Amino acid sequence: MQNKLIDLTHILNEKMTVYPDTVGPKFEVLNTVEKHGFTELKMTVVTHTGTHIDAPCHILRNAKSIDQFSLDKFIGNAIVIPCQDKHEISLKYLQTFEDKITQIDFILFFTGWQYKWNTKDYFDDCPVPTREAAQWLTKFKLKGIGFDAFSVDKVISAKKVTSETLPNHFILLEKEILLIENLTNLDKLPDCAFSFQCLPLNVENADGSPVRAIAMMNE
């Protein structure tokens, strides 16, 4: 039996969507086969570009960076929770998935925002968990939660980061539940649990990292 792989990662390029008030990636060809015998590309990229993970130290003092977690933190079983028709992700709604959540490591929230990627509408208010719902999620042994949207919180100015403006970030990262943002292709995932991985770059003291997120299931 073969494994089916689904890429859940947006491609990196200079025209891609980036969070308001942040710097987009830059690429520069330093060497080419024609001139130097080899090709080499210089990449300048913020750690929270594209499909990426937030580490606790992204917003918390004296908290873990990406490189301080073992590899198994980024691999496990996952489920998708559909939220395309929701204004917010309520505790009552999440409780309908409680039996499944107790059996998995990651929750991926399918908001439908993946269809707005690289458009001006991507930073419209997307469905995010209420504080009550985020707090409830901390009682499970989750390694992380992911979204096909820009954040687990509503969009804010990068200059106004507090526990009031980003409540869900603080609630979840304090419990070392990693946040995976800007996923895609969540519509291609099954209703049942599947294998998931989102391996980051191994950068010392990194507050986050672009990832290659994939889902794997038996065909």
pLDDT reading at 53 higher than 60: yes
Pick from 156, 139, 142: nearest CA to 109:
142
CA distance 47 to 176: 18
Pick from 152, 116, 158, 125: nearest CA to 16:
116
Residue 199: strand pairing partners: 212
The residue-averaged pLDDT of 8-26 equals 94
User: In the chain, what percentage of residues exceed pLDDT 70?
Assistant: 98
Confidence of residue 218 (pLDDT cuts 50, 70, 90): confident
Give me 61's structure tokens.
Answer: 């003092």
Neighbours of 52 (CB within 10 A): 25
pLDDT reading at 162 higher than 90: no
pLDDT reading at 159 higher than 80: no
Q: What is the SS3 assignment for 107?
A: strand
pLDDT in tens, 71-90: 999 999 999 999 999 999 99
pLDDT reading at 147 higher than 80: yes
Confidence of residue 158 (pLDDT cuts 50, 70, 90): low
pLDDT in tens, 186-215: 999 999 999 999 999 999 999 999 999 999
Answer for the pair 149, 117: CB distance below 8 angstroms, yes or no.
Answer: no
Rounded mean pLDDT of the chain?
A: 95
Answer for the pair 60, 170: CB distance below 8 angstroms, yes or no.
Answer: yes
The residue-averaged pLDDT of 2-24 equals 92
All structural domains of the chain: 3-9+49-218 (3.50.30.50)
pLDDT reading at 157 higher than 60: no
Q: For position 2, what pLDDT does the model report? A: 65
pLDDT in tens, 115-125: 999 999 999 99
Q: For position 175, what pLDDT does the model report? A: 98
The residue-averaged pLDDT of 15-33 equals 93
Q: For position 164, what pLDDT does the model report? A: 83
pLDDT reading at 219 higher than 90: no
The residue-averaged pLDDT of 171-176 equals 98
